[in-house]
Chain A
Amino acid sequence: MKLVLFADLHLDAPFAWARPETARKRRNNRRVALQHIIRLAEEEAVDAILCAGDLFEHDRVTPDTVAFLQDALAATSRPVFLAPGNHDWLSPRSPYLLTDWSPNVHLFTEARLTPFPLADGLTLWGAAHRAPANTDGFFAGFRPDRGGVHLALAHASERSLLGWQEEGKQPHAPFDAAELPAAGISHAFLGHYHLPRDAERHTYPGNPDPLEFGEEGERGAVLVTVSADGSVIRERRRVAVSEVHDVLVAIDDARHATELAGIVSDALAGLAGCVRVTLQGELAPGMALDIAELQRLGEHLDGLVIRAGEIRIGHDVEAIAAEQTVRGQFVRDAMESITDPDTRRRVVLTGLRALEGRPDLEVA
């Protein structure tokens, strides 16, 4: 039995950082990623396509996306199994229930594991989130009512992995890995965690197309070969369309804005797609850091985000603080009274620049 697994495509999710045209392009990339997955399924002649939830975002999904999904899933004759997650939860108004899916699409609709016989002696158990939150775990106390090999498809959170995931991840439908063998599940195909994970008895494929900057791990679709004894062989395949780069740029050597622009431009050379540049290092005392100006360096990219990382004040703050001047007093007071390092940096730089008579008083 050969399967292709994916999850967390998050069709129609927003990109808060992006320009409107970039955001649109990124959203379209996810659609293309789904087409890649289906093409992969055709090329590999898999027996079924499994989606472990968060295929789209219920609160944002557009009619156009639903129509696209309808066509995309109908474009293959291979069985497609959908297990709604917390973002595409199965409400009475869900497109899952309001759309005439092609016959090859099987939707798991119960908030508990229900069976679908994939082959003689091989059963796929799937479950759906029926609410956007507070969905209980699917595996605790579960026992198959039949013999053979049992696979599972769900949007669920393995508790021990929560700490490794991105910040703010909620443990929807939580479970412990030990629950799977206890439940008689040979392998669970899961969604929700965007960081990929190949565990002994479960697999998180990760988001197929990048959602955020700084994503790590080999994310995409997973080709799964299921043996007769329920063991699996996994092979990860890249299906992403979006190209995303996270670049650190040291500004220590830049003495002025032109030099800094050159450094950033060098860092962007050869890159495509969306790039996030994090500036860090010591900002030369006389240099104006104009983020908006640096953004223009990414006009050849789909999107460019310039952000100030750990930027240190280039001035000799210690020496200035020792001065018996207004400047020295100001720096001393700022260093003493402002505890937040970033706020302190901004205030000190703003004050020093004002005292230097500079026009660039907005500190990035």
Chain B
Amino acid sequence: MRIQRVVARAFGPFQNETLDLAPGLTVIAGPNESGKSSWHAALRLAITGLRRGKGPGTAVERELALRHKPWDQPDRWEVEARMQLDDGRTIDVTQDLANKVACRAVDVDLGRDVSDEILDGTPDASRWLGLDRDSFATTVSVSQAQIMAVADAAEGLQEHMQRAAATHGADVTAAEAIARLEQFRRDAVGADTVAAKGPLRTARNRLTAAAAAHDQARQAHADFLERAAAVESSERAAQSARLRLAGAEAAVARMQAAEASARAARAAELQARHPAPPPTLAASDELAARAAAAVDGYRNRPAAVDLSGPTTDALQAELDALPQPPTGDVRPHPSVVAAQHAVSLAVQALHLLGDRPAVEPNPAPGWDAPALRELAATLGQAPLPEASDFEAQLAGLRRGSSAAARPQLLFGGACLLAIVSAGLLVAVSAPGAVAVALLAVALGAAGAWSLSRSRATADALARAEASVEPYRRARAAATERRDAALGRARASGLPEDAAAIAELADRVAAIAVQRDALIRWEARHAELQGQLLTARHDLAAALRDRGEDLAADADPAAAAATYHAACESRSALQRLADRAEALRHQLHARRAAEDAAAAARRRAHEAAERLRAVAAELEITATDAEQLCAAVEHWREERSGALQANQRALAEWQQLQALLDGGSLADLQGDAERRRQRANELAAALAAEAIALPTGVQSDEHLAALRREAQQLEREHDVARGALDAQRAALPDVAEAEEAADAAQRELERVEGLAATIDTTLGLLRAAQERVHRDLAPVLARAVLRWLPVVSGGAYVEVSVDPASLHVRVKESATGQWRDARYLSEGTREQVYLLLRVAMAEHLVSTGERAPLLLDEVTAQCDGERKRQLLDVLHAISGERQVVLFTHDDEVAAWALDSLASPQDALVRLDPRPVGAAFTIGAPSTAEPPLVPLSVD
């Protein structure tokens, strides 16, 4: 962007005056009061305009208006500028600073309004530079005050750099912003430790307390409702008890009223019946007693006895005709029966033993079966062969043994042939020696076989010769034994054949068995005979014991049969004799019955007589006793009724007296009426079903128990009600507690949200500061380095910028040492500052445009040499971007005259203006660089 001209339509002291600017360096020189500040302001406001808005605007805007509004036309404040953008467009900007209405930016070539591109309420051409009104002033415009600040304070340079890096220099530095936020966080949030007392902890504590209070309020409310329910329950219980008591009292009262009423009615009835005491009848009399006894005696007289069956006499006659009881056994005695049984058993045993068995005679007397079998065995053995057979075999063996001398001959021949073979081998020829040697070997082998055979034959011969003698002895003994056995057989007349003898042995053995059976039969037979004899003897003894006369030789069995027949006869007699006892009992009973019947008849008669006597006294006549009895009973009944009536009357009289209890009937009736009214009163407030008493209880005790229960429940209810009332008075308001908790929660959320916002902001700011400084530091270093050697006269040749703090250091060429730019001379600091501003302007303008530099008295602190060096740098810079330098310094103006060349550069001289006078325009000198004249429309 290059500003071609500024037209002050109505601005401060100017009216339609124009300031033309060269595209390179324009030096605007003039003394004080020549209008430099006004043109500086007009130039800046022509580009940026003023922000549109209601009210008086900001303090800066107010200050601008105060200083630069037209003095004589306060309603009109206008300025225009023509500028050429780096994109080739020429723009006319019109700023209606007073009304902010007729503001516009117009493309001169196209005649098109381009205000929208830069509109910020009003057109702001600094936007083409990526700046705004504030940052344009701090980036593009460099004032004397800024230069002086850098010159006066060592920290000014760095602070400006940081501020510029942070906000184009418009506001505070990032570090200040961070510090401000950190302090704000400490103040508005504070720590979150337990001991902290800042807003965050306070909010937390408040929320905790409010939440606890809310919980307590809710709990208290719930407890209250619970207690209220309990009170309600206790009240219902007390009320129920009261109802039960009232019901019982009403029931009792009703009952008592009924009783009183009944008593009164009864008393009235009795009094009506017995207005005077009734007479007292004799409770008993002797005649009535006798009449009762007579009637009772008659009614209870014995009944006539009905006698049937045989009479006493008939029974006596039958008894007398019976036989006497027999003597002796009427049935067989067990001892006789047992003895008979033993005899029968003995007889049966003998019968079962059978007849005596037969035994054959022994056909070989003196021999028993084993001996015969041994004899048959001896005779049956075969004879041994003769010994001559063995001797022939022995001779053969002896012949074989003699032939055993041959092996030695064979071995000798073999040895001889071996020697011959050796000789032949040494002396004659080998083949012959071999043949002889083979022959020697054959003879040796034959000798070895022959030697083995001769040794076996010798062993067999020895064994045969050792056994032949025992055999001869054994054969002789066998022959001797057979001969002896044959002799014994012949001597006993036995056959000599072994088989016949063996058969005879079997027969003898069978006869021995028969003999053994006979022996056993005889022993058993003798034993049974003994038993039979004993049994018969015992039977005889038993019969004698039972009184039987038995001869010594009598047959006990026959005697026993006689005994049995006698028992039968005696048994028949005994049965007849046994009836006598029954007849005697029957006779005795018959006699007793006849006596009793006679006594009954007598007592009945006496009862009838007594009845008749009493009837006679009662003057009752009747022919029949039954009639008499009925008449007497009737008399008794009448008599009893009269007595009972009299007793009832007396009892009723006593009852009446008891009911009246010393009072009158009217008193009694009055009491009944009062009780009835009381009962009605008690029942009036109760449901009919509530008036009741349990059955089977004592009303007084029941009422007392109900009263105690009602009083107890009433006391409990009173206590519960009192506690509820006390709790109600202290019951916290749940809604208010909830609202307090909500408020505390909101406050905590606000503080926490604020803390989060601050923390996030701080994090982003720190990161942004670090990144921007990191990017900016090399840019600044390069930019300063480009011009520093020139402006410093070669004193400093290198530059470094700390990314963290943007501290600038320069390297001294003479010593090679790095020096902190903050501590350089004032002039050097100014130069460095200007270079940094240029660098900043280049860096901060982000749109591709090149921002002009508007410099106001920036050389004021420089000495002559450095001033020229600085101006040379500015002149060089103006080759890249437009530079407008306002100065009152004649040296600068002189430098401009010497150094600037038209049309790239220009020097504009401003003359002092009298107050209220218009500016005069210095005429350009032909010897001077062509000046851009100030035109006045």
Interface residues of A (CB under 8 A from B): 12-18, 20, 23-24, 27, 57, 59-60, 62-63, 91-95, 97-98, 253, 255-256, 259, 284, 286, 316, 319, 322-330, 332-334, 337-338, 343, 346-347, 350-351, 354-357, 361-363
Contacts and interface: CB of A to CB of B under 8 A. Distances in A.
Interface string B165-190: 11110011010111011001000100
Contacts of A20: 736, 739-740
B127 A93 contact: no
A201 B847 CA distance: 69
Given A20-B739, A255-B53, A357-B171, A98 B229 contact: yes
Given A16-B739, A316-B132, A324-B846, A337 B764 contact: yes
Contacts of A94: 225
Contacts of B743: 16
Q: Give the most central of B127, B733, B743, B776: most A CB within 10 Å.
A: B733
B761 A350 contact: yes
B772 interface: yes
14 contacts: A14-B736, A15-B735, A15-B739, A24-B736, A27-B735, A93-B226, A97-B232, A327-B171, A333-B768, A354-B177, A354-B180, A354-B181, A357-B171, A362-B184
A26 to B, nearest CB: 10
B872 interface: no
Contacts of B132: 316, 319
The secondary-structure label for the interface of chain A is loop
A324 B184 CA distance: 26
Interface stretch (B2-10, B752-760, B919-927): B752-760
A12 B217 CA distance: 14
B55 A255 contact: yes
Contacts of B167: 325-327, 355-356
A351 B761 contact: yes
Interface in B723-756: 728, 731, 733-736, 738-740, 742-743, 746, 753-754, 756
A355 B166 contact: yes
A362 B180 CA distance: 12
A259 B56 CA distance: 11
A281 B164 CA distance: 31
B843 interface: yes
Given A98-B225, A355-B167, A361-B758, 9 more contacts: A16-B743, A18-B739, A60-B734, A98-B229, A324-B846, A326-B165, A330-B764, A350-B761, A354-B172
B234 to A, nearest CB: 12
Contacts of B222: 59, 93
B130 interface: yes
B165 A347 contact: no
B120 A316 contact: yes
Contacts of A322: 130, 846-847
Interface string B213-241: 00000100110111011011000000000
Interface in B744-799: 746, 753-754, 756-758, 760-761, 764-765, 767-769, 771-773, 775-776
B54 interface: yes
Interface residues of B, number: 68
Contacts of A27: 735
Interface in B130-188: 130, 132, 135, 164-168, 171-172, 174, 176-178, 180-181, 184, 188
B611 interface: no
Contacts of A328: 772
A23 B773 CA distance: 54
Contacts of B164: 325
B734 A329 contact: no
B446 to A, nearest CB: 130
B695 interface: no
A346 B775 CA distance: 27
A171 B130 CA distance: 57
B58 interface: yes
Given A319-B127, A323-B130, A325-B168, A330 B765 contact: yes
Contact of A357 (B180, B221, B767, B771): B180
Contacts of B739: 14-16, 18, 20, 23
Nearest to B734: A60
A319 B180 CA distance: 24
A94 B754 CA distance: 43
Contacts of B176: 357
A350 B758 contact: yes
A355 B742 contact: no
B844 interface: yes
Interface string B677-690: 00000000000000
A324 B772 contact: yes
A333 B764 contact: yes
B171 A325 contact: no
Nearest to A362: B754
A15 B736 CA distance: 8
A329 B168 CA distance: 12
A259 B222 CA distance: 51
Given A93-B228, A322-B846, A329 B768 contact: yes
A92 B232 CA distance: 11
B184 to A, nearest CB: 5
Nearest to A332: B768
Interface string B523-553: 0000000000000000000000000000000
Given A337-B764, A361-B758, A323 B844 contact: yes
B165 A256 contact: no
Contacts of B844: 323-325
Nearest to B751: A362
B172 A355 contact: yes
Nearest to A60: B734
B764 A351 contact: yes
A330 B172 CA distance: 14
A346 B177 contact: no
B742 A16 contact: yes
A109 B141 CA distance: 84
Contacts of B57: 255
A347 B764 contact: yes
A31 to B, nearest CB: 13
A253 B121 CA distance: 12
A326 B769 contact: yes
Contacts of B847: 322
A265 B569 CA distance: 162
A324 to B, nearest CB: 5
A343 B740 contact: no
A328 B166 CA distance: 8
A328 B54 CA distance: 28
Contacts of B843: 324
B189 to A, nearest CB: 10
B764 A356 contact: no
A20 B744 CA distance: 13
